Structure 1
Amino acid sequence: MKYVGLPVTNLSRPPNSEYHRVLAFGFNPGLNDYKVVRLVTIYRQHYIEVEVYSLSTHCWKSIGVLPTWIISMDWSFGHAVSNGVAYWIMRAEKDYSFHLVSLDTGSEVFEKVLLPEATWESLNVDISNDIQPYKESVCLLKSELDYRIDIWVLQERCLNKLHTVWFPGRSPVPLGFKTNDEHLVKYRKHGRCQYLAIYNLQTKMSTACLKI
């Protein structure tokens, strides 16, 4: 196994501030390079900094000019990289709307996609949600309290619900994809007992893996 230690960050933060930092790591096939994106948000201060690490240069590069719309957002959850594009879910402070925000690590261009309003209410609840690479795109894995996970996939700058996964237990937690069509999930059954299961999106069948 090989590894590379990351150099010291260039980012700073105001003293005595509440902040959140999140990393996203992935491969950019267009540049044939591995990238790490670091996003730092300072809560309630409209302060965001972003920098990108390149394995080929072994250094961080700060993204100096950010779009004005991102300054009024807070990181909400998730981090994923697909085809060299980093993604997060962020919430606008003005109207509490949720957006899928992306940064192309090659062009260093930010974009945002408004999430369907049908997802907003459960995203405000403290349950397990995530975003993951899916095939050539990215998906939102939205856990519901009624034994299901909804899978929303980014297609042509819109998120469309493609699958609903039901489980024979409560509190399903999405863990990502084993293959393009096999979704790995943790759920509870019989009190506190937890299980791992694989759900096949093509056959719509789930297979219990093991008790944990």
Structure 2
Amino acid sequence: KKEILIDILVRLPAKSLIRFLSTCKSWSDLIGSSIFVSTHLCRNVTKHTHVYLLCLHHPNFERLVDPNDPYLKKEFQWSLFPKETFEECYKLSHPLGMTEHYGIYGSSNGLVCISDEILNFDSPIHIWNPSVRKFRALPMSTNINIKFSCVALQFGFHPGVNDYKAVRMMRTNKSALAVEVYSLKRDSWKMIEAIPPWLKCTLEHHRGTFFSGVAYHIIQKGPMLSIMSFDSGSEKFEEIIAPDAICSLWGLYIDVYKEQICLLFICYGCEEEGMEKADLWVLQEKRWKQLSPFI
């Protein structure tokens, strides 16, 4: 009977499971057990069930808006949309009730990392589960006295160490780079001491992504563009040279495409009048493969 019950419960979304915690003690113990949580998560990930899209949008979907308009931007809101219907199902409000705009710096398995829209070194960071309306405030760093002018923040799950990680990269006016890693298991920050010398360059902290426990950033050293990767588990840095065809930071974006790191390079002023050409490169075994460009 227990196996049948588990097979039924693992198919339910987290919000329904939370309600069943108060059904009886045996159900509460079962749903709260680490084995059930892992089974439920594994099933959702492998079968892509209960997947939601996290979108920043204007309340009026039919209105064409300029995302750079400061007045319209104040009206934007974060919402969850189920991937099957793409109908707004849940409007996200800050868990502390704050009305100011906030930024989302990564999400994984239902957890969302939020902080100030404009990051400072002492910006409060929260890991939030909107489905069950619970959150955790991350502790302040022990390096709070150091003043940094540039801060980047990323968050996600590292399957290799079975832990959720937040990576914070900071730079001073003198181009000194500092990297801190937060572990949800330990609930603490760790400063990374060994920074490779090739990272003394311009870090494009606005253009980065986090995938499978690794933080990726576009960096520039003189005329050369590279991708810096930092594994939040092994705490190792790597440099991946960008394709020769990519010659400018303008129009260059890094993200994940079909479980692979990709570079999207938008070429303005395409031969077709009024059109833009986009080149897509995916990283396969530390080499770039160009997919068919599209216009």
Shorter-chain TM-score bucket reads 0.5 to 0.7
**AA of the residue aligned to 1:178:** Y
**AA of the residue aligned to 2:255:** G
Aligned to 2:140: 66
**AA of the residue aligned to 2:191:** K
Q: Check 1:81–1:143 CA distance in 2 against 1; reply closer, same or farther (3 A cut).
A: farther
Aligned to 1:39: 115
Matched, 1:137 2:214: yes
Aligned to 2:106: 25
Following superposition, the deviation at residue 178 of structure 1 comes to 1.2
Aligned to 1:157: 235
Correspondent of 2:289 among 195, 205, 212: 205
Asked whether the equivalents of residues 23 and 79 of structure 1 are also in contact (C-alpha less than 8 Å), the reply is: no
5 Å-filtered alignment, 1:45-84, equals 47-55=122-130, 57-63=132-138, 65-70=139-144, 72-74=146-148, 75-83=150-158, 84=164
Following the alignment from structure 1 to structure 2, what is the Cα–Cα distance between the partners of residues 47 and 178?
Answer: 33
Following the alignment from structure 1 to structure 2, what is the Cα–Cα distance between the partners of residues 24 and 87?
Answer: 10
Asked whether the equivalents of residues 279 and 294 of structure 2 are also in contact (C-alpha less than 8 Å), the reply is: yes
Of structures 1 and 2, the one scoring higher in RCO (CA 8 A, sep 6+) is 1
Q: Check 1:90–1:143 CA distance in 2 against 1; reply closer, same or farther (3 A cut).
A: same
Higher percent of residues as helix: 2
Matched, 1:184 2:252: no
Following the alignment from structure 2 to structure 1, what is the Cα–Cα distance between the partners of residues 277 and 153?
Answer: 23
Asked whether the equivalents of residues 54 and 60 of structure 1 are also in contact (C-alpha less than 8 Å), the reply is: yes
Aligned to 1:4: 90
**AA of the residue aligned to 1:157:** E
Asked whether the equivalents of residues 243 and 288 of structure 2 are also in contact (C-alpha less than 8 Å), the reply is: no
Aligned to 1:89: 169
RMSD between aligned alpha carbons? 3.8
Correspondent of 1:121 among 201, 207, 211: 201
- Structure 1 residue matching 2:293: 3-state secondary structure: strand
- Structure 2 residue matching 1:156: 3-state secondary structure: coil
Following superposition, the deviation at residue 187 of structure 1 comes to 4.1
Following the alignment from structure 2 to structure 1, what is the Cα–Cα distance between the partners of residues 180 and 277?
Answer: 33
- Stretches of structure 2 that go unaligned for 5 or more consecutive residues are 1-80, 83-88, 159-163
Asked whether the equivalents of residues 129 and 143 of structure 1 are also in contact (C-alpha less than 8 Å), the reply is: no
Aligned to 1:15: none
Q: Give the share of equivalent positions with the same residue, in percent.
A: 7
Following the alignment from structure 2 to structure 1, what is the Cα–Cα distance between the partners of residues 228 and 177?
Answer: 16
Aligned to 1:168: 245
Asked whether the equivalents of residues 10 and 60 of structure 1 are also in contact (C-alpha less than 8 Å), the reply is: no
Following the alignment from structure 2 to structure 1, what is the Cα–Cα distance between the partners of residues 141 and 97?
Answer: 18
Q: String of CA shifts for 1:23-62, please: whole Å, max 9, x gaps.
A: 223225xxxxx2222234775xx74322221245313333
Following the alignment from structure 1 to structure 2, what is the Cα–Cα distance between the partners of residues 69 and 20?
Answer: 26
Aligned to 1:31: none
TM-score of the superposed pair, with normalisation by structure 1? 0.67
